[in-house]
Amino acid sequence: MNEIIKMTATELAEKIKTKQLKSAEVVQAFIKRAKETDSKIKAYMEITEEYAMAQAKASDEKIASGKETGALEGVPIAIKDNILIKNLRMTASSKILENYIAPYDATVIEKLKNSGAVFVGKTNLDEFAMGSSTENSAFFTTKNPWDTERIPGGSSGGSASAVGAMTAPLALGTDTGGSIRQPASCCGIVGVKPTYGRVSRFGAVAFASSLDQIGPMSKTVEDSALLLNVIAGYDKKDSTSINKEVPDYVKNINKDLKGLKIGLPKEYFIDGLDTDVKKSIDETIKIYKSLGCDIVEISLPHTDYAIAVYYIICCSEASANLARYDGVRYGFRAECDNLSDEYKKSRGQGFGPEVKRRIMLGTYALSAGYYDAYYGKAQKVRTLIKQDFEKAYEKVDIIMTPSAPTPAFKIGEKSADPLQMYLSDIFTISCNLAGVAGMSVPCGFSKDGIPVGMQLLSKYFDEEKMFNAAYKYQQATDFHKQFPRI
Amino acid sequence: MNAKYEAVIGLEVHSQIKTDTKVFCNCSTDFHSQPNTNICPVCTGQPGVLPVLNKKAVELLVRTGLALECRINKKSVFARKQYFYPDLPKNYQISQYDLPFAEHGKLNISVDGGVKTIGITRIHLEEDAGKLVHDIGMKKLDYSLADYNRTGIPLMEIVSEPDMRTPQDAAAYLTALKSLIEYLETSDCNMEEGKFRCDANVSIRPVGQKEFGTKAELKNMNTISGVEEALVYEIQRQIEVVENGGKIVQETRTWDPDEKVTKSMRSKENAHDYRYFPDPDLVPVILDDDFINKIKKDIPELPEKRKQRLISECGLSQYDANVIISDKALADYYETALETASKQSDNSGKQIANWITTELLGKLNSAKLTIKESPVKAENLGTLVALIIKGTISGKIAKMVFEDMFNDGKDPDTVVKEKGLVQISDEGAIVAICKEAVAESPKIVEEYKAGKERAIGAIVGLVMKKSKGKANPQMVNKILIDLLKQ
Amino acid sequence: MKISKKDVDYVAALARLEFEQKEEEKLTEQLASILGYVDKIKEVDTSKIEPTSHGFSGENVWREDTVVKSSEQTIESIFKNAPAKDGMFFKVEKVMDMED
């Protein structure tokens, strides 16, 4: 059984389809592992054992009767708890949704159900996906499986930790400013933010509508490519999803990289970069050179403004997206005798401090007299950031950067000063503002044995190239074959 | 009205667009459904949902804009208008701000025997809110009840320039606007069902002053006469305030139709801070000339034009034409009747109009039926009039036939046949009856021959009685006169 | 950059958020610090630049006007989450004239 939890999703899908393994035993193995580890890492809001075993049983019956099966038939996956699965609780790790039962399936969930995947649990996150450490969850903090005194990253810390600790081979996260890539980097796994519009947002709790994407998380690059095959695609329920065919992201993943031009943005390789991170990235560059790639220095001149632009935009959009949580139709309602109190007490008590801080910031940025200086201006600088990327891709095929400025820091280290926490998003944030695709791949360990990640960024809808570059790199390294000792 | 001051009035009309589904989801717009049965996760603002635009709502709004001679903007954008209210599930309304669909139009109205042009500032698309119930029957509740059936129904907000100067202008504008929209079939305009609502902005200024005075916004006027009454009251109130040395406060006032006064709602110190920003969930709409021209083609003949055509082609009087075109359904009825009659005889236009205005409308009114519910089908009325013109039946008999047609829904040919009412126009037959009648009325014959010409009437009466009303009256008259000459 | 208590109170009222006094004091400091940081975007010359208001460059995404009725089960699930209901209605505290 130890073997099962170390298998990749690709291997498991194959073995289950060919009846070498039963989905029920696979799912049991992962759930057992989840139960064993969760007291230590607390990745899960809820392990949905009954639900999963029923799905596993159905998959096994399907396979036994020779019926047509899906790409992930019988394979377990953990789902970040801001994605709706019908009739299951969905909390967004917030008190305001503590007892909310989802009335419908997110589109990605429908797609996963059609592919035969099995939902082993809902994972913890920073409340409403606002945070970079999962310390903002209203219920508990998830731990990094490599060192339980450290953060797993955020906001998809639960999903990252769940995969990192081998309690599921796959997970879904959401990424608005790096919330898939940064925790993937912290936990030594692969995490992908697809191009904006590639995956439907219908059924994911909205944080910042023009930045959010749902994406895959897994141990290996191939697994994430397999998962993206399933969840990507046009959704008529999402007006921002693109009507463009989904290629097979696995098909050309092993193509020769010779001649691939990789850009290193000089603004991301500043003096003072953490030594562990610098060392791992330098090694990464060497490996890519050995694979026949051309390394080119590029510039993304407006990088310095990315965090400011991001926080204005995401908080403004969030302040509107979170207005619906008022205790009237669903969610926490405070005891009151008049409507005015009912709104401000329900929201005041139901939301945590980071959420309230961002709503305040966003409301301020949109309020009368401030729109032009803040939101209006930020949207214009965003255009410049987009143009930086578009110009860069005229010179190179792929951009490579560190995923985070440091390996996972200790729990509590940055929670006193919100601005300090925001500044740690520097490498992942521009990708969301531009809308391009990005992924984090494990590229080393710090002296303390904590994972380090490197980030690849491809231009719009060029995920194939990104997966190819990541896969060949992963084949040339063994970081993905290492497991935490938890 | 006071000769020192003049009023400045602008009207904002919200008209529900006549689509089968809501503007951002596929729920039905049916008015008569049970509460909270035309709802779904999208229109109740559940977590994770997204809006998808109803194309027909755009088409019908553009049609309205073209008929009001607006410029249709090439690019239109949706914006979020943010405020908290229990009838607004997302606590923002998807509306339009900077780039509405239509701008700078006009509508001509007839007042005081002349024509005034009222400017239309803009027409934009937005979603309606739900309904709140505060009492059941006579009992006032100490809580409120929310019904979301109406949430999400598409509205056109039609904003006029402040070009109206009297309450009569306002009433004329609303009547003309309502009639036009009904003609275009872009809205039902049923004010009792809340499908055509009006708010007014009114201020006063000394005659000759260029600047506008401070305006008050009036709400809760549920009929056109209510708007007129409310404006009369409010203008007088403002004049009195100013004459007594006071200042008009910019505020929202509600019309009380029972007490016939306007009352201040909680006065707001600041204008509403709606924090508009472009909705990131909905992409812009780009309308090209092809789209607009196609819609132009679908515009039916507008009331004013139709009226002029009926006067010139059918010889109708101004009065009759006005009555006929006042209701599109009635005008359609008239033209259908005319078309049927024209196949059977000539010059039926005026007579049909006559039958409608003197016979049909009265009967419909008493039976509380609309023209659409008329038991006498338009084709049948046309045939009836043709029968009169052809001489098959007399005008008097026609009235009897019409009774049967109205009460039993039968067609005229059937009634005439069943009751044997075909007019007797055979000269020989009439001569025979006339000779009989003359023979039976010696005294009257004497009187006639003595010079009392009107005495013939009694013999005519007898002939009609003997022929059961079927003898052709003109022929009877002629033949009797001839007979009595002898 | 300084942000006054009046500003914070105004924004909190718009956002329908209630804070305890200590919370509000701390928040005021933090907002000032964050706003001070994001102010740097003023340095950028955007005089000839159009804003990016959407993540996706599509246009004219719309649908046909065909009714799709929610299943009874879906409507039940929506009602199940209601904190208070009365028959076929959602129940809420009495609405006075409350618009902001």
Q: Does residue C21 belong to any structural domain of this protein?
A: yes
* CATH number, residue C15: 1.10.20
Q: Does residue C34 belong to any structural domain of this protein?
A: yes
Which other chains touch chain A, taking contact as 3+ CB pairs less than 8 Å apart? B, C
Contact B282 A239 (CB under 8 A): yes
Q: Which of B55, B56, B143 sits opposite C91 (nearest CB)?
A: B143
Cα B29 to Cα A227, B32, B47, B195, B276: the distances in Å are 39, 9, 23, 11, 27
A386 has which bridge partners? none
Cβ-based interface (< 8 Å): residues of C facing B: 14, 16, 53-56, 58-70, 74-75, 78-79, 86-100
Query: Domains in chain C: how many in total?
Result: 1
Extract the tokens encoding A353: 């401090």
Q: Which of C70, C94, C98 sits opposite B27 (nearest CB)?
A: C70
Q: Does residue C29 belong to any structural domain of this protein?
A: yes
Q: Does residue C80 belong to any structural domain of this protein?
A: no
Min Cα–Cα distance to chain B from A234, Å: 13
Q: How far apart are CA C36 and CA B392, in angstroms?
A: 93
Domains of chain A with bracketed CATH: 2-257+427-481 (3.90.1300.10), 304-380 (no CATH)
Contact B146 C90 (CB under 8 A): yes
Contact C27 A87 (CB under 8 A): no
Extract the tokens encoding B414: 């059937």
Residue B137 burial (CB count, 10 A): 5
Closest by CA to A471, choosing from A178, A171, A226, A169, is: A226
Min Cα–Cα distance to chain B from C60, Å: 5
Average pLDDT, chain B: 91
Q: Does residue C12 belong to any structural domain of this protein?
A: yes
Check if CATH label 3.40.50.300 holds for domain B427-485: no
Looking at beta carbons, which residues of chain C come within 8 Å of B251? none
Contact A368 B273 (CB under 8 A): yes
A328 touches chain C (CB under 8 A): yes
Each residue of A119-141: b (16+ CB within 10 Å) or e?
A: bbbbbbbbbbbbbbbbbbbbbeb
Which contacts qualify for B411-415: CB closer than 8 Å, 24 or more apart?
B411/B377, B411/B379, B411/B380, B411/B383, B412/B380, B412/B383, B412/B384, B412/B387, B413/B383, B413/B387
The more confident residue out of B245 and B1 is B245
> Which residue on chain A is closest to C37 by alpha carbon?
A308
Min Cα–Cα distance to chain C from B99, Å: 13
Q: Read off the pTM.
A: 0.89
At A409 the pLDDT is 94
Q: Does residue C38 belong to any structural domain of this protein?
A: yes
At C99 the pLDDT is 45
> Which residue on chain B is closest to A316 by alpha carbon?
B277
Q: How far apart are CA B121 and CA B98, in angstroms?
A: 13
For chain B, give every domain's residue range. 5-291, 303-419, 427-485
The more confident residue out of A1 and B164 is B164
At B392 the pLDDT is 85
Q: Which of A103, A237, A320 sits opposite B46 (nearest CB)?
A: A103
| Whether the bond into A155 is cis, omega within 30 of 0 | yes
Counting residues of chain B whose pLDDT is more than 90, the rounded percentage is 62
Range of the domain at C35: 5-43
DSSP strand E in A137-212: where? 170-175, 190-193
Q: Does residue C76 belong to any structural domain of this protein?
A: no
H helix or E strand, kind and range, residue B381? helix B378-390
The more confident residue out of A84 and B466 is A84
DSSP strand E in A234-361: where? 261-265, 294-298
H helix or E strand, kind and range, residue B447? helix B442-449
Q: Does residue C53 belong to any structural domain of this protein?
A: no
At B126 the pLDDT is 98
Looking at beta carbons, which residues of chain C come within 8 Å of A101? 77, 80-81
Confidence class for position B266, pLDDT limits 50, 70, 90: low
Looking at beta carbons, which residues of chain C come within 8 Å of B35? 87-89
Contact C30 A418 (CB under 8 A): yes
Contact B280 C79 (CB under 8 A): no
Q: Which range among A313-317, A391-395, B114-118 shows the weakest confidence by mean pLDDT?
A: B114-118
At B345 the pLDDT is 85
A319 touches chain C (CB under 8 A): yes
Average pLDDT, chain C: 91
Counting residues of chain A whose pLDDT is more than 70, the rounded percentage is 100
At C100 the pLDDT is 40
Confidence class for position A92, pLDDT limits 50, 70, 90: very high
* DSSP per-residue codes, A380-416: HHHHHHHHHHHHHTTT-SEEEEESSSSS--BTTSSTT
Extract the tokens encoding B142: 């100490």
Extract the tokens encoding B197: 């609502």
- pLDDT digits 0-9 by tens, C54-72: 888 889 999 999 999 999 9
Residue owning tokens 């005041």: A348
> Which residue on chain B is closest to A91 by alpha carbon?
B47
Check: CB of residue B120 under 8 Å from CB of residue B139: no
Contact A324 B275 (CB under 8 A): no
Residues of A labelled catalytic: 80, 155, 179
Q: A319, A364, A389, A459: best mutation site toward chain C, by most C Cβ within 10 Å? A: A364
> Which residue on chain A is closest to C90 by alpha carbon?
A329
Contact A347 C16 (CB under 8 A): yes
Q: Which amino acid is at C79?
A: F
Is the pLDDT reported for residue B386 higher than 50? Answer: yes
Check: CB of residue A392 under 8 Å from CB of residue A400: no
Q: Would you put residue C18 in left (φ > 0), alpha (ψ -120 to 50) or beta? A: beta
- pLDDT digits 0-9 by tens, A236-246: 999 999 999 99
Contact B37 C88 (CB under 8 A): yes
Helix segments in chain C, DSSP class H: 5-15, 21-38, 72-80
- pLDDT digits 0-9 by tens, A135-155: 999 999 999 999 999 999 999
- pLDDT digits 0-9 by tens, A451-478: 999 999 999 999 999 999 999 999 999 9
Contact B90 A209 (CB under 8 A): no
Q: Which of A197, A339, A348 sits opposite C98 (nearest CB)?
A: A339
ipTM, interface predicted TM-score of the complex: 0.96
